[in-house]
């Protein structure tokens, strides 16, 4: 399981797995529980690039959001594992 410390959001951390280029087991620590569970279910089993493209740039407070932070976490993962 991968761990990413968020920046600028109510959630503090994102946990996730990437298996064969697909995103699984997303869990947000902190934040709006219902919304974040919904995001986790929507991205389950989807291609990592599709999730990054879909969620990157979504704004909430400030210049980021929990979905945007998930995209950043996945992009960071990709850069480290290529």
State residue 62's pLDDT score. Answer: 84
State residue 61's pLDDT score. Answer: 80
Distance in angstroms (rounded) separating the CA atoms of residues 57 and 51: 12
User: 10-residue block means of pLDDT along the chain (82 residues)?
Assistant: 96 97 97 95 98 97 93 97 86
pTM, entire model:
0.95
State the first-to-last Cα distance of the chain, in angstroms, to the nearest integer: 17
State residue 82's pLDDT score. Answer: 81
Distance in angstroms (rounded) separating the CA atoms of residues 73 and 82: 14
State residue 53's pLDDT score. Answer: 98
State residue 65's pLDDT score. Answer: 96
């Amino acid at each position: 399981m991968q761990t990413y410390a968020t920046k600028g959001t109510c959630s503090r951390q994102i946990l996730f797995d990437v298996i064969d280029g697909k995103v699984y087991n997303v869990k947000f620590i902190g934040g709006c529980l219902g919304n974040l569970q919904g995001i986790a279910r929507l991205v389950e089993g989807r291609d990592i690039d599709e999730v990054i493209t879909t969620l990157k740039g979504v704004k909430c407070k400030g210049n980021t959001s929990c979905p945007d932070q998930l995209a950043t976490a996945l992009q960071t993962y990709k850069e480290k594992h290529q």
